[in-house]
Amino acid sequence: MTEIIRVRTTKHTSVVNITPQVRDAVRRSGVKEGLCIVYVPHTTACVFINEGADPDVVKDITYMVERLIPWSDPNYEHGEGNSAAHIRSAIIGNSRVVPVVNGDLSLGTWEAIFLAEFDGPRERKVIVKILKEE
């Protein structure tokens, strides 16, 4: 089954914890054992999994991604002016796969699933596909 999660980001760079919505989708699917694919079909957004307990971890990740891939660079060629957002999205990646075990996401204790948008604010969608193990 497939579900679409809609996320409205509020800042130029936003990182949103979408774990509750993904977990709800898994529960609604009724799948007990399988795979959950989380995919964002947007070129300035990405999905990653990391610590959700201490919000400073996401702050530090965001800080360092922005530092490593600066917004302006004299050699960027993309005319829209948002090359940094495309590069950040490309490096982090637009999908993740989480095993479904006993009807739930098998995330670690401190893990959460995040949508990041680097050229917001924007309305974004996340495609969640839940596959049942044969």
- List contacts with Zn ion (CB under 5 A): 80, 82
Residue 19's contacts (CB-CB under 8 Å, 6 or more residues apart) are: 52, 105, 107, 112, 113
CA distance 70 to 83: 9
For Zn ion, which residue has the nearest CB?
A: 80
- Between 77 and 134, CB nearer to Zn ion: 77
Instruction: Report yes or no: 37 and 105 within 8 Å, Cβ to Cβ.
Output: no
In angstroms, give the least distance from the CB of 7 to Zn ion: 19
- Between 19 and 82, CB nearer to Zn ion: 82
In angstroms, give the least distance from the CB of 119 to Zn ion: 7
- Between 58 and 116, CB nearer to Zn ion: 116
- Between 33 and 80, CB nearer to Zn ion: 80
In angstroms, give the least distance from the CB of 89 to Zn ion: 10
In angstroms, give the least distance from the CB of 86 to Zn ion: 6
CA distance 120 to 84: 13
- Between 82 and 89, CB nearer to Zn ion: 82
In angstroms, give the least distance from the CB of 28 to Zn ion: 34
